[in-house]
Amino acid sequence: MSIQSVVNTNTSAVSDITGNRGNFPQGVMAYEMGTSATAAGATQAFANAATGTDNGLAAGTETVGAYQGSIAAGGGAAVGVVQLITMTFAVAHGWTSLTHDIVVTLVGAAAEAAALTVGSASGSFGTTTTIEVRREAGAVFGTNAQLQAATMLVQVRKRGVDVA
């Protein structure tokens, strides 16, 4: 019996990743959005043009399919604190909830604690030029929670079968 190595020869584009079992081909890097130009609070935004620490989602970035950026802490500690993060592209992205999924991953800037959390997040296609991410801090029974600053990764994945 011989041992054979398997080489991934999948050359699918980032926007058509279903041929790679739902994962990005090796070597594909997420577009670095920078840091949200919005101060800590209930809303965060990445604009379609560079604004200070925000690198901007200029024309062409809608074809990448993976986006990474830093977001500030949420508002004050409370039960069920919510933060809305809006990513606005300069050009229509062409994704819909019928053809694509959004996967949001968060990594906190500090250790998790009962009163300080990275929270959980989900995304939606708000308009033809936006992705909206909702981040929420679930509170431990009897303890208010605060959303901490975090690094966010948003992946847009083409479905194997479109919803009719």
Asked, for residue 1, whether it belongs to a domain, the answer is: no
Q: How far apart are CA 149 and CA 53, in angstroms?
A: 15
Asked, for residue 79, whether it belongs to a domain, the answer is: yes
Q: Which residues of the chain have pLDDT under 70?
A: 1-28, 139-140
Q: Is the dihedral of CA 93, 96, 97, 98 positive or negative?
A: negative
Asked, for residue 14, whether it belongs to a domain, the answer is: no
Give the model's pLDDT for residue 80.
Answer: 78
Asked, for residue 163, whether it belongs to a domain, the answer is: no
Asked, for residue 98, whether it belongs to a domain, the answer is: yes
Domain that includes residue 60, residue range: 29-158
Asked, for residue 2, whether it belongs to a domain, the answer is: no
Number of domains comprising the chain: 1
Amino acid at 28: V
C-alpha 161 chain-centroid distance: 22
| Neighbour-count burial of 71, counting CB atoms closer than 10 A to its CB (0-12 exposed, 13-18 middle, 19+ buried) | buried
Can you list the positions of beta strands (E) in 18-129? 31-35, 43-46, 66-71, 81-88, 100-108, 116-117, 120-127
Asked, for residue 164, whether it belongs to a domain, the answer is: no
Question: Could you read off the pLDDT of 24-70 as tens digits, one per residue?
Answer: 555 557 899 999 988 888 999 999 998 888 899 999 999 888 999 99
Beta strands at 150-158 and 100-108: parallel, antiparallel or unpaired: antiparallel
Asked, for residue 16, whether it belongs to a domain, the answer is: no
